[in-house]
Structure 1
Amino acid sequence: MVLNLLKQEKSFKAGIQRKRMMCAMDQEYLATVLGSLS
């Protein structure tokens, strides 16, 4: 489910692994990714 959210997220152009790292380091980006859930 989370991988699908990362694939759909287009504000940060990178691969899935890099987006996962970005979520771990940047709370605002994590909120952006999880915000698309609702």
Structure 2
Amino acid sequence: MSTTIYSQAVTTVAYVVGAAAIAALVAALGWVRRPLFYVG
């Protein structure tokens, strides 16, 4: 039973980390594009 809980915890953490990384990447691209768009 503990193994299943551990597996679920790992999956949840991996999903949260992946979602946070994607959100951070999108935000970073947005912040990089704005100045370039205004300057260009």
TM-score by structure 2 length? 0.29
Larger Rg: 2
Q: Which has the higher contact order (CA 8 A, sep 6+)?
A: 1
TM-score by structure 1 length? 0.30
Q: Name the structure where helix makes up a greater proportion of residues.
A: 2
